[in-house]
Amino acid sequence: MRRTTAAAPSRAGDGAGGGAEAGLRTEFPFRLPRGYVDEQGTVHHDGVMRLATARDELVPLRDDRVRENPAYLSVVLISRVVTRIGTVDDVHPGVVEDLFASDLAFLQDFYRRINAEGHTRAAVTCPSCREEFAVDLAGGRLGES
């Protein structure tokens, strides 16, 4: 199931002249810390996760693999909401099983952030100078946040 961005009316006085529309963000790009290694040995880092629906959270509960092993819930759930990892468009539980543990943990945290908090930013503090700033956990090119 693929979701598209639905447009919402812009706010008055935003300088857009009333014709521009701001969209509801339903897909979020990410960059895996280690990367998914496919059968050919290609490493895929960049991907997209969409917002979860109620169905996404309910369907895995009926999965026999989850009933036998409740820890498998996160594998099934992540496979339902990740729409792409690199050039891999069919992200099924087998793909998620083959992720490095650190990448699965990253995706679980990313899922929580975009579905509960609605964004991928986190407040951090520099350990040297104690300056506080925000970073985007979705990743990006070096120097971007």
Does residue 142 lie within any of the structural domains? Answer: no
pLDDT above 80: residue 14: no
Domain membership of residue 90 (yes or no) is yes
pLDDT digits (tens, 9 = 90+) for 57-116: 999 999 999 999 999 999 999 999 999 999 999 999 999 999 999 999 999 999 999 998
pTM: 0.67
> Quick check: is 64 in a domain?
yes
Q: How many domains does the chain have?
A: 1
Q: Give the whole-angstrom CA distance, residue 113 versus residue 30.
A: 12
> How sure is the predictor about 1, in pLDDT bands with cuts at 50, 70 and 90?
very low
Residue 87 is part of which domain span? Answer: 6-11+27-136
